[in-house]
Amino acid sequence: MFTQHDFDDSFLPLTAHRPWPLPERPWIMTQTWHDLLFAHWPVDKDRLRAQVPRAFELDLFDNAAWLGVIPFHMTNVAPRGLPALPWVSAFPELNVRTYVTRAGKPGIYFFSLDAGNPLAVGTARTLFHLPYFSAAMKVAAAEDEWVDYESRRSDAAKPAELVCRYRPIGPVREPLPGTLEHFLTERYCLYTLDGSSHPRRLEIHHRPWPLQVAEAQISINTMAEAAGFRLPAIAPLLHFAKRQDMVAFPMEPA
């Protein structure tokens, strides 16, 4: 569906939009994210607090907590200096996440990351202590800019499924600081706990998000339920991004 070996590194010196300086250590990995849907719902703060490790403070917008379900597809997934490889460096991914802070740095906390590549799942679980799951996934471009997306988790003990289609319906624009869309998307690190329950931070770098207002038809969505949440019976806040090239830095103690 997408071309590999086309990583665009022209964003690397662009740092004015970042909330803090780039890490001093060299970056170690590239990824290119395609056709992302940011689907967000407000969720109960107390329920969220119970699900997020105490090492991290909840990051709220106007005193409201948010949960995101983000389907997309990746290419150019490779360590620095190595080429992207067929069947290894390109696969779909689906994230369920919320927003936290630690030591003054706002970031992302993942409840789950489903991926259509078992090798990537095993590697990420081992090296980055992230809650990855293998899933059977399909992504297809349809007419009128629609993206058809299906994901069914392979772990029968922790089932989760998303079937939807989505597309952009507005012009591309960067999110403005202070807005909700900026709060939900402009994040330059993620947090997790290592095997000894110590907080860890992984920093990333990319351009400001090229967001578009989106529409979606969601047939099945049990992703939040699998993470322990019941979504409110309201339409989600939807944004689309066609592409984002990024680099990741070594994980470090938070």
Q: Supply the CATH number for residue 78's domain.
A: 2.40.400.10
For residue 10, tell me if it sits in a domain. Answer: no
For residue 103, tell me if it sits in a domain. Answer: yes
For residue 61, tell me if it sits in a domain. Answer: yes
User: Residue 115 belongs to what domain range?
Assistant: 29-253
pLDDT of residue 127: 85
For residue 19, tell me if it sits in a domain. Answer: no
Residue 1 near residue 201, CB atoms below 8 Å: no
Task: Grade residue 3 by pLDDT with cuts at 50, 70 and 90.
Answer: low
For residue 229, tell me if it sits in a domain. Answer: yes
For residue 234, tell me if it sits in a domain. Answer: yes
Task: Grade residue 161 by pLDDT with cuts at 50, 70 and 90.
Answer: very high
Domain count, the chain: 1
* pLDDT tens sequence across 187-213: 999 999 999 999 999 999 999 999 999
pLDDT of residue 4: 59
For residue 4, tell me if it sits in a domain. Answer: no
Closest Cα partner for 33 from 211, 175, 213?
A: 211
For residue 248, tell me if it sits in a domain. Answer: yes
Mean pLDDT of 18-22: 97
> Average pLDDT of the chain?
95
Measured between alpha carbons, how far apart are the two ends of the chain, in Å?
37
Extract long-range pairs of 64-67: CB within 8 Å, 24+ residues apart.
65/98, 65/99, 66/40, 66/41, 66/42, 66/98, 66/99, 66/184, 67/40, 67/41, 67/42, 67/43, 67/96, 67/97, 67/98, 67/224, 67/227, 67/229, 67/231
Mean pLDDT of 56-63: 98
Q: What is the pTM of this model?
A: 0.95
Report the alpha-carbon distance of residue 138 to residue 151 in Å, rounded.
7
pLDDT of residue 137: 98
